[in-house]
Structure 1
Amino acid sequence: MTNHLSRVLVCLLLMLGTSFAHAAAEVKEWNFLVFLNGINSLDSFGSQNINQMEEIGSNNKMNILVEWGSEASTNVSRLLIKKDNDTTKVTSPVVQNLGAADMGDYKELIRFVDWANQNYPAKHYFIVVWDHGNGWHFTSSDNTATHIQDISWDDHSGNNMTTEQLALAMAESAKIIGHKVDIYASDACMMGMVEVASEMQDSVNYFVGSQDVEPGAGWPYNVFLGKWASQIDSLSPAQVATLLSKEYTAAYNGGIYGKRPVTMAAYDLSQIGTYEAAFKQLATQLNSLSAADITKAQTAAGNTKYFTNWDYRDAVDFLAQLEKGGVKASSFSTLRSAQNKFVMSNDQTQDKNTYGVSVWIPTDSSDYDPYSSRYEGLRFNKDTGWGSFVQKLIKK
């Protein structure tokens, strides 16, 4: 009798263990993964944004997972975001303590995605890199390559991710999850550039980024996640990317963050081949301009809407400025048509010269010389030959 009861208990325990394992491996519809690098001057906004996420919390359709690095802590933690009513304190459980992980290392981002996939699998993945950003190249006041670069600046390690490394992280993430990353987005400044999007076109379906500087408060996570969660069964990945762009802009257009000039756009990377082909045609035609028209193009470039960095210019506004200066080419309409398909949602509270995509257009040697060699290796330049035209713009 005792042996029989023991066997029954063992069977029950085995069944319960199997049940628990099944529950742990439950495949949800979405993973919302936030690589939140607050190991820098943005630290205070990190906890603010996590508290916003906690207003919504993970649910039976979506895991909200955060890898959180803080300037105030020597430990990097992974959190499973749980709903709570405390908007001043992060209460979500730490499910893994990583110690002094390097949030400026793109391989750490890959490890985060791999860990999420193994422990909290999902059908769809939305990957966010949260931190300072500076488009595809570094900030340099003395024309050297010694200053902060691209995205995810870790002040403890002194490292950051380059645009090329970010693309490697997305490529590895796609391999890990077995399909393209559904959405990649930067909660960071000035990442809405064709050069950045181009690098990850083989591994990401939809891309969201801002042409301009983002205010420190960043995204309205509570509003965005709340609206997404309420429609999660009906929204496609493209619609989720568009929702983020629109809710971010609304937050700074009289919404929860008041009134601030901001930009955000969502790109359909399945259209980037056509977009790059249009840029290639444009570069070819502009390369054949007369000396007089090159001078006009130089003036047009200087008049084109820029975003913080003088050499980050709005692609479509450049066409408008060329036309105003008397330069004409059949490729202008081709590029505008391609951009209309590439940009799913262009949302901004600035002026009418903001069309959603920035491109590198330096106008003097101080903007060109430090970056020209690296630009040659970017996929966008290889696909379009844009760098050869840019070189002609530089006033000697």
Structure 2
Amino acid sequence: MLRTAALVLTALSGLSRPLLAAGLPDFKLNAINAAEVPVITLPASGTIKTETPKDWTIMVFMNGKSNIEPFALSDLNRFETVGSNEKVNIVAEIGRSKGLDNDTATDGDWDGVRRYYVTKDQDKNRIASQLLVDLGSADMGDWKEAASFLKWARTAYPAKKYMFIIWDHGWGWIDPLKPGENLVNRNKSISHDFVTGNYIKTTEMGKIFNEAGRVNLYVSMACFMQMAEVAYELRNAAEIIVGSEEVIQLPSLNFEDFFGLIAANPQSSAETAGVYAVDTFKEMYSRPEYQEMLEKTKYGVQLSAIRTAKLPAFALKAGAWANLAMAGGADSALKKAKEQVLRFEVGDETTDPDKSISFYGDLYNFIELTGKNLNTDGPKNAELLSAGKDLMKFIAGELTLKNVFLGKDRTGKDYSNTHGIAINIPGLPGNLIGYHHTYSRLAFENASGWLKFTEYLEKLN
């Protein structure tokens, strides 16, 4: 799921705008300008063959075969304001189609799936990068297509470090039902191809990287994907995962500054690049025009970078805390925490007016609220409180590399209550979206036993 802004913003600032310095490595942020990023000259046709690997290859899998086609084309044009250089490759596989909602005739009104080597260009209304491959009607809702792109790009454009971005709708861990569908084995959560009707399963996300190789940085430019359940499927896919607990507003990430920083600082590590993504996101949404957009749409925004090496320990700690919470004596505190936790926008003002049905919430905030509402008399609750403090410390200090946030949601809850990782926290009974009940198949459930806890929470309504 991606939310299109009610306020149409056509002027996207470039690299000349200063960035927020908080949390970034020590270098001159204000000195980076699009004009200073070197340009690479592309041969007349075909792929570039480089004997010496570059520092980074950035690969963007852009599924615009849906109702967000105009934004896919716009973002590819934004990539071109930076473009590839002698140290960094930027390649994209982009799909679009005809006849869907928000269909646009921009850039020649072609349809299908194409691969581009992104080169520098300042015309934001036309894709100037050279077309490398026309894949026709390739299915971008198939994990094998994503793996094929990743494998192809690594072979054609070798590098010391790799970044892979999936750009499209996202639904977190859940596997939405298609109209008329009732097959329980179709559990899919990201990269929705509206033409084929397919999208990539939560449990298939790791297969992309098993097939095509681990990357240094993985980014979900899709809603709700920074969840424990999703991240754990990707624990072997990358060093760092960047994503949002909440809806990602369009115009998405601050690609101009994010890619610009990597182009200007190609020696950057995966952790540094993850911080670039997160801090430039906050800088963009801090601008007056975006603040106005958030106020009008009654949204907050959040983005975080997490360390995958910490996920196994995180799952064990989360499971241990949940078991203590179910041991007795904490029901009243858990019920209050369910009512008070910051939940994310699975529904809308009509279907979930006070966001009490939404089943995605910030884990740290939920643990914190449980502790605040807990009667600490008795050894069980004292142990639960101690385990909660330990888990919160682990989330803030070890799992989460960087978390940024702005604004409040439509119920008045502040996004300072986000801490980098969401999780399934059942709300009140309701039917916001039909989905397959496949939670038991998730690797996070197998590592943590969280399903039993969600069933326990459901009984506390």
What TM-score bracket applies, with the shorter chain setting the length?
0.7 to 0.9
Call closer, same or farther: CA 1:91–1:21 in 2, change over 3 Å.
Answer: closer
Aligned partner of 2:80: which letter?
E
1:132: which partner in 2? 169
**RMSD between superposed Cα atoms in Å:** 2.6
Q: Offset of 1:357 from its aligned partner?
A: 0.8
Bigger mean CA offset, 61-70 vs 323-332: 323-332
1:9: which partner in 2? none
- TM-score, length of structure 1 as denominator length: 0.87
2:127: which partner in 1? 90
Higher helix share: 1
| 1:43-94 Cα distance to aligned partner (Å, 9 max, x none) | 0011111111111110111110000101244321000001112122111011
1:244 pairs, out of 236, 260, 277, with 277
- Give unmatched runs, 5+ long, in structure 2: 1-45, 99-109, 295-299, 347-357, 376-380, 408-413
- Give unmatched runs, 5+ long, in structure 1: 1-19, 175-179
| 1:113-134 Cα distance to aligned partner (Å, 9 max, x none) | 1111221111211000000111
Aligned partner of 1:222: which letter?
E
1:343: which partner in 2? 400
Q: Offset of 1:39 from its aligned partner?
A: 0.5
Q: Which one has a bigger Cα radius of gyration?
A: 1
Aligned partner of 1:81: which letter?
V
1:321: which partner in 2? 369
**Matches for 1:1-396 after TM superposition, within 5 Å:** 23-72=49-98, 73-139=110-176, 149-174=188-213, 180-233=214-267, 235-254=268-287, 257-259=290-292, 260=294, 261-290=300-329, 293-309=330-346, 310-326=358-374, 328=381, 329=384, 330-340=386-396, 341-350=398-407, 351=414, 352-364=416-428, 366=430, 373-395=437-459
Q: Offset of 1:325 from its aligned partner?
A: 2.2
- TM-score, length of structure 2 as denominator length: 0.75
Call closer, same or farther: CA 1:97–1:21 in 2, change over 3 Å.
Answer: closer
Tell me the secondary structure at the aligned position of residue 74 of structure 2: helix
The structure, 1 or 2, with the larger RCO (C-alpha pairs under 8 Å, 6+ apart) is 2
Call closer, same or farther: CA 1:148–1:198 in 2, change over 3 Å.
Answer: closer
Q: Offset of 1:22 from its aligned partner?
A: 9.5
* Distance in 2 of aligned mates of 1:249 and 1:210: 12
* Distance in 2 of aligned mates of 1:52 and 1:369: 33
Tell me the secondary structure at the aligned position of residue 326 of structure 1: coil
The share of aligned pairs that are identical, in percent, is: 27
User: Contact 2:439 / 2:451 at 8 angstroms: preserved in 1?
Assistant: yes
User: Contact 1:311 / 1:367 at 8 angstroms: preserved in 2?
Assistant: no
* Distance in 2 of aligned mates of 1:56 and 1:349: 26
User: Contact 2:97 / 2:112 at 8 angstroms: preserved in 1?
Assistant: no
User: Contact 1:79 / 1:93 at 8 angstroms: preserved in 2?
Assistant: yes
Call closer, same or farther: CA 1:370–1:194 in 2, change over 3 Å.
Answer: same
Aligned partner of 1:389: which letter?
F
Q: Offset of 1:320 from its aligned partner?
A: 2.0
User: Contact 1:251 / 1:258 at 8 angstroms: preserved in 2?
Assistant: no
| 1:333-381 Cα distance to aligned partner (Å, 9 max, x none) | 1101210210000101032211111000113455799768511121111
